[in-house]
Amino acid sequence: METEINKKTPLYDEHIKLGAKIVPFAGFLMPLYYKSITFEHLNVRNNSGLFDISHMGEVIIKGKDAGAFVDYVFTADVSKIEPDEIIYSLILNEKGGIIDDVTIFKFSENEFMAVVNAANTQKDFSWLHYQQSEFQKKGYDVSIENVSEKIGLISVQGPKSRDIIYPLVDEIVKIGGCGFFDFKFKPKPVIKLKHFEFSCILFKDINVEALISRSGYTGEFGFEIFVPAEKTAILWDYLLKHGYLSNLVPVGLGARDTLRFEAALPLYGHELDETINPYDAGLEKYLSGTKNFIGKEVLKNIKSKEKRLIFFKLSGKQIPRHMQKILDENLKPIGCIASGTYSPSNKFPIGSAYISDTNVNPSSLKNFFIDIRGNFEKAEVVSPPFHKNVKKIV
């Protein structure tokens, strides 16, 4: 018997109306696709796509010592960014293993928001909660709140995203409000936003205030829009109705995965998990050199990478899948697939793998084999991303 109860995002009914194929993912009933993964994928690359990513978690971190707290629990130099900026970071355990990869929004010196992977929301919150109590014991002023269920999150991605968003919004240039986000700075006009900056806007006809960031998980220009949960469906319908001139279509998790993988963006549970350290994953640039953070001590002693992440393409048509074995030219196992998928932009299968055999030098590895259900498929090491220099079909 299936006893696990899957949650619904505020947009579940919209997905059903749009005829989505629904699948359970990270404890939520999510759209896998509406029409087809490859159609939705190519439409994002060529036009634009609308994603429900409300399943993602949001944790607010507040207090006089919030800056010291975020610098300790996250690997990147979080407190130093400007209010209105976002930074990508890792959360590590004491052994240097990756608990999650997150983005952190800075509202002020005393308030931050971490956006975390849906599958990890509870784990991250428990971990941060424990660290918060340790901080409080030492007399620091910091508090955290899991606001995931109060927030709906919609993403608009693709080269035409700006044509959809700009005409629909008014700037909010006052300090203070933005739904329940407490802006302590004067928000920038949305057209001025650079990558990994955010602002506050008002969607005109529906009178919905939202936090908008220039960010995404597709490798394309795009926005992510945070709204109160009860306004999410109104905004979703409004964007779909007004986005048709830019060929805006709803996009499910299937294409979200193929898009992120072509752009070589890591996915927790595939490229990242608690047995993998930032060096293995090639994410050492997100480790601060100037401050202390959880896991830093242990990482100092890691001289050589235990595993190495590589990217590859296949000449055959079979798709490599997570955990399948990779074999050297003598068919000796040397590692394991992290992600494998079909690249709709290139029309061939692609993947990533961790090489665990330390005798193998990834930079001299050219060809190897993947054991796909007993067939040894030849693969070639390539450098990502996979979606640049692909001839676009309009």
**Residues touching another protein: how many (CB under 8 A)?**
17
Closest to another protein by CB, 294 vs 319, is: 319
Closest distance of CB 130 from another protein, Å: 36
Nearer to another protein, 87 or 338 (CB): 338
Min separation Cβ 319 and another protein, Å: 6
Query: Mask 235-274, x = binds another protein (CB under 8 A)?
Result: -------------------x---x----------------
Rounded Cα–Cα distance for residues 101 and 85 (Å): 17
For residue 221 the two structure tokens come to 């220009």
Residue from 29, 37, 172, 272 that binds another protein (CB under 8 A)?
37
Q: Does 340 bind another protein (CB under 8 A)?
A: no
Binding mask 282-321 for another protein (x = CB under 8 A): -----------------------------------xxx-x
If the CB atoms of residues 36 and 143 are measured against another protein, the closer one turns out to be 36
At 254, phi and psi to the nearest 5? -60, -55
User: What is the secondary structure of 248-277 as a DSSP string?
Assistant: EEEE-HHHHHHHHHHTT---BTTTB-TT--
The reply to whether 322 sits near another protein by the rule CB under 8 A is no
Q: 375: buried, middle or exposed (CB in 10 Å: 19+, 13-18, 0-12)? A: exposed
Q: Does residue 21 bind another protein (CB under 8 A)?
A: yes
Distances (CA, A) of 368 to 42, 126, 229, 271: 29, 41, 48, 19
Q: Smallest distance, Å, CB 41 to another protein?
A: 9
Q: Binding another protein by CB under 8 A: which of 6, 36, 136, 288?
A: 36
| Shortest distance, position 310 Cβ to another protein, whole Å | 22
Residue 351 lies near another protein (rule: CB under 8 A): no
* Dihedral (CA of 356, 383, 284, 136) sign: negative
Interface region with another protein, contact rule CB under 8 A, candidates 6-14, 35-43, 100-108, 152-160: 35-43
> Would you say 25 and 253 are in contact if contact means Cβ atoms under 8 Å apart?
yes
Judged by CB under 8 A, which stretch of 33-41, 76-84, 190-198, 271-279 contacts another protein? 33-41
Q: Is 342 in the site for another protein (CB under 8 A)?
A: yes
The number of CA neighbours under 13 Å toward the Cβ of 23 is: 9
**Residues 64-123 contacting another protein, CB under 8 A:** none
Question: Nearest approach, Cβ of 54 to another protein (angstroms)?
Answer: 21
Task: Candidates 138-146, 269-277, 339-347, 384-392: pick the segment binding another protein (CB under 8 A).
Answer: 339-347
198 forms part of the interface with another protein (CB under 8 A): no
| Radius of gyration, CA atoms only, the chain | 21
Q: In this complex, which beta carbon is closest to another protein, that of residue 241 or of residue 317?
A: 317
Interior CA angle at 183 toward 177 and 184, to 5°?
120
Q: Which is nearer to another protein, 36 or 46 (by Cβ)?
A: 36
CA pair distance 262, 271, nearest whole angstrom:
14
User: CA 232, CA 381: separation in Å to the nearest integer?
Assistant: 42
- The long-range contacts involving 106-109, CB below 8 angstroms and separated by at least 24 positions, are 106/78, 106/79, 106/81, 106/82, 107/83, 107/181, 107/182, 107/183, 107/184, 107/185, 108/83, 108/182, 108/184, 108/185, 109/66, 109/67, 109/79, 109/83
Closest CA to 58 of 154, 153, 176: 153
Q: Which residues pair with 212 in a beta bridge?
A: 199, 225
Q: Which of 6, 8, 38, 159 binds another protein (CB under 8 A)?
A: 38
Instruction: Write out 220-247 in H/E/C secondary structure.
Output: CCEEEEEEEHHHHHHHHHHHHHHCHHHC
Nearest approach in angstroms of CB 256 to another protein is 12
Residue number with CB closer to another protein (40 or 71) = 40
Residues that bind another protein (CB under 8 A): 21, 32-33, 36-38, 254, 258, 317-319, 321, 341-342, 344, 349, 373
